[in-house]
Amino acid sequence: MREQHIKEIKQIRVEINNHLDNLEKQILEELREKECQYKESIRKVLLPVKERETIITQCQLNFKNIQEHASELQTYIGMRDLEVTVDENEQYLQLLIDTKGFGHLDLVYKVDTNVQTILNNVKSFGSIEIKNHISHDSNIELTRAKDKQAQIQVAADRKTVNNVKLILQKTITTNVNSVRGCCMSRNGNIGFTNHSFKKSLNVFKSDGTLKYATSDYLSFGFDIIFVDDSNVAITSGNESKETGIYIINIENRSKIKFINLPGCSYGITRDHDSLFVCVKGRGIYKVNSADYTISHVISCELPWGSYVSVFNKKIYFTNGDDNSVAVVTTMGHVFGLLKLIKF
């Protein structure tokens, strides 16, 4: 907002400068025109005066010749002619005096009073104030509950699934015939699990090319999640002898640890330093990714192939038997069922 006001102030300054530049250009042009008129007026007066000066000079020369060489008769006649010429020039000069032809001309500049007003009265570009804008369409509502306790509820724009627009960024050919899990690290590595037949872990680079595929240390691999940039957690899936989570380092392709769980493990997700796992017939288990301690957080009858996700302090997990998604909230260690969404 500050930058916008600065931009407006500078724009006003530019407009004022441009306007004053135009006014200056106009007054200088007017001064030039008046000067030309002034010079032309003087020239018009001086031109006939110079002509009269030539005539008078000739008269003076004639008068001198008459005095030196003319007879009395010639002097009489010549003086009559000179008197006529002198009288004509005297009348012309008197006419110039009477019509103020010899008047003194001045170029006078008067400052417009409006310009003086700008210099004297305009003290600032404007004023800055903080204005409290109250709108009838405000999203803030005051709601009074039955117990007379006031609550301020801020209505926010809610996004629904219908508002989500998906854009295909890349297609990766995995050559995996039974993908059950997929995840991506912060540095772009992508992991896929091949649950059936080959039972392999497939790691791809960020450009979609295969980094490696391995079936070592996996009996069945179902879902997968990155614990950090180097380690992944893979659930055991349908394996009945060894049920739990594999912790595998994808850089050196080694098994770090196996975490035993009391049933077939399927969907897995990570929330901060915790892993949440779907265990068949048991519910949701929570595993601390730092010390691998286990806690049973939600008890329910989960079928084969359930998945789990955590977002905004809520746990979402699927149930393929009745095609539903359960949403459970967690506040500290308190868990409660919010809703059951059926499809």
Confidence (pLDDT) at 127: 67
Average pLDDT, the chain: 79
pLDDT at position 272 over 50: yes
pLDDT class for 189, splitting at 50, 70, 90?
confident
Query: What SS3 class is residue 305?
Result: coil
Contacts by 70-79, CB closer than 8 A, 24 or more apart: none
Query: What mean pLDDT comes out for the span 229-240?
Result: 86
Query: What mean pLDDT comes out for the span 279-299?
Result: 93
Kindly compute the dihedral angle of the four CA atoms of residues 256, 259, 265, 267, in this order, to the nearest 10 degrees.
Answer: -60
Model pLDDT for residues 30-49, shown as the tens digit of each residue: 888 888 887 887 787 777 77
Confidence (pLDDT) at 140: 52
Which residues fall within 8 angstroms of residue 340, CB to CB, at 6 or more apart?
A: 324, 325, 326, 327
- Strands (E) in the chain, as ranges, are 140-144, 150-154, 179-184, 190-194, 200-204, 210-214, 224-226, 231-235, 244-249, 254-260, 265-271, 274-279, 283-288, 294-299, 308-311, 314-319, 324-331, 334-342
pLDDT at position 296 over 90: yes
Confidence (pLDDT) at 153: 47
Amino acid symbol at 233? A
Kindly compute the dihedral angle of the four CA atoms of residues 42, 44, 46, 50, in this order, to the nearest 10 degrees.
Answer: 170
Query: What SS3 class is residue 146?
Result: coil
Amino acid symbol at 226? F
Amino acid symbol at 21? D
- Which of 57-61, 198-202, 297-301 has the least mean pLDDT? 198-202
Q: Given the structure tokens 């998906």, which residue do they identify?
A: 166
Confidence (pLDDT) at 306: 94
Ordered strands of the 265-271 beta sheet: 265-271, 274-279, 283-288, 294-299
Confidence (pLDDT) at 293: 94
pLDDT at position 175 over 80: no
Model pLDDT for residues 50-81, shown as the tens digit of each residue: 777 787 887 778 777 777 776 766 677 777 77
Confidence (pLDDT) at 128: 67
